[in-house]
Structure 1
Amino acid sequence: MILQRFFTTAVSPLLLCLLLFAGCKQNTPPLPVLGSFDQDFSLTNQDGQTVTPATFKGKIYVADFFFTTCPTICPIMKVQMTRVYEAFVDNPAILLLSHTIDPDHDTVEVLHDFAQRLQIETSKWHMVTGPKSIIYPLAKKYMLGVVESSQAPGGYIHSGSFCLIDANRNIRGYYDGTDSAEVDQLIKDIGRLQGEK
C-alpha cells in the first residue's frame, strides 16, 4: 500500500514530465537538407583578404547576394542581415557571406567603406568581390537567382533570400531577407543547427 502510494504520488508525475519532454523534443524535427554546397571558389573580402571554402570550414554561415548601389531590396536586406550579425557577433561558430553581383563597381575599397558604414567586423561578416564568372555560378550553386537586366532598377535582378549553410556545407534553409519575421526564424534556426549532434 505504501509503495503503491509512492508510485502514484511521486513516480507517475515524474514519468509524465519525462514523456511530455520527450514528446516536445520529437515535435521539433531537424531542419531539412535542401542540397549540398560543394563548389570551390576564391574571392576577396572588404579588407583585401582571400576568402575560400576553407574560411567557413566547420562553421555555420548565411550567404546572400547584393550590390552596394542597389536602389530596391538590398538596403532592407542589409538591415536584416545586420540583425543576424548582432545576434551572433560573439559566436565564432557563425559567419556571414555577402557576394556583390556588381564587381565592376564594388571593388575592395567600395566594400570596405560600405562595411565601415555598417560597423561590422570582417572576421564575422565577409563582403566579397571577384569576377562575375565566379560569382554568378556561385549564386546558382546556392540555388539563388542573379541576372543582369537593363530594365531593372540598378541594372540587376537578384534573389532577396538568405541561404543557411551548415558546418558540413549542406543547405538547410532559405529566408526572405526583406521580411523581419523570416529573419527571426533564421536566427532561431541557426540556434537549432548549433544544437545538432
Structure 2
Amino acid sequence: MYRIVFLIVSSLLFFSCAKKEDNFIALPYYNEPNFTPIFLKDEAVIKKRIQHTIADFSFLNQDSILINQNVFKNKIHVANFIFTRCGSICPTMTQHLKIVSDRLQDYKDIVFLSYSVTPWIDKPSVLKKFKRNYEITNKNWHFLTGKKGAIYTLARQSYFAEEDIGFSKDSSQFLHTEHFILVDKTKRIRGIYNGTLQLEMEQLIDDIRTLKKEEEK
C-alpha cells in the first residue's frame, strides 16, 4: 500500500516539475531605447533579431585599475549611473543596489558597474571613499570614471539609460537617471528597473535568478 502511495506521489511531483519546466518564461530582450519587450526562445532567431549589445569601453575603477568589457565576459551584470555629490536619488540607489549585491553574494559571476556621470569630479580616490562609506565589500562591484563623452555615449547609446528621451542627447546635456539595467552574458539588455524603489530590487533579484536558470537550460 505504501509503495503504491509513494509511486502516485512521485508521479504527481514529476509531472508537476515537468509542467513548471515547460512553463518556464525567459526574460524579454530589449533592442531599442523605447524598451519594447521582445520574447524569444529560439537561439537562431535571437541572434538574427537582437542585434543590440553593450559596446566596448575602458574606464578606471575606484582602485585606479583599468576596467573594460572583459570584466563581464560570460557574466551577468547590472549597471547604473551615479555621482558622489548627488544629494537626491544616488544615495538611495546605492543603498538599494547594495541590497541586491548582499542578497546575491553567493553568485560569484554577477558584476555590478556604477558609472560616474561627473567623472571630472569623481576621480578614483573619490569613488573609493564613496564605496567605503557605503560599506560595499563586493569585489565585483566597480565604480567607474573616465572621459565624460565616453561615459555618456555608453549610457545613452548602449544601455539606453534614459530610454527614448536621452537616446539622441549629446554629452553637453547632463545625464541623470534612476534606472538600473540588467544585461545578460551575451551583453544583451534583459531588464530595466527603478533604482529608487526597493520593491523593484526584489524584481531585479528574481530576474537575475531567472537569467541564471536560463543559462542552465
Bigger radius of gyration: 1
Counterpart for residue 137 of structure 1:
153
Which residue of 178, 181, 189 maps to 1:163?
Answer: 181
CA distance in 1, matches of 2:10, 2:92: 48
Which residue of 169, 177, 190 maps to 1:172?
Answer: 190
Deviates more, 1:74-83 or 1:17-26: 17-26
CA distance in 1, matches of 2:69, 2:29: 19
Q: Which consecutive unaligned segments of at least 5 residues does structure 1 have? A: 149-154
CA distance in 2, matches of 1:161, 1:29: 23
Q: Is the 8 A contact 2:116 2:143 kept in 1?
A: yes
**One-letter identity of the residue aligned with 1:171:** I
CA distance in 1, matches of 2:87, 2:108: 32
CA distance in 2, matches of 1:190, 1:10: 35
Shift of 1:174: 0.8
Name whichever structure is richer in strand by fraction: 1
Q: Is the 8 A contact 2:79 2:113 kept in 1?
A: yes
RMSD across aligned positions (CA): 2.6
Shift of 1:193: 1.3
CA spacing shift, 1:21–1:89, aligned 2, 3 Å: closer
1:31 aligns with 2:27: yes
Q: Is the 8 A contact 2:117 2:175 kept in 1?
A: no
Counterpart for residue 194 of structure 1:
212
Q: Is the 8 A contact 1:66 1:100 kept in 2?
A: yes
Deviates more, 1:36-45 or 1:48-57: 36-45
Q: TM-score, normalised by structure 1?
A: 0.85
Q: Is the 8 A contact 1:89 1:124 kept in 2?
A: no
CA distance in 2, matches of 1:74, 1:173: 20
CA distance in 1, matches of 2:115, 2:70: 16
Q: TM-score, normalised by structure 2?
A: 0.78
Of all paired residues, the percent bearing the same amino acid is 34
* Alpha-carbon displacement from aligned partner over 1:28-51 (angstroms, at most 9, x marks no partner): 301112233230110000000011
Counterpart for residue 123 of structure 1:
139
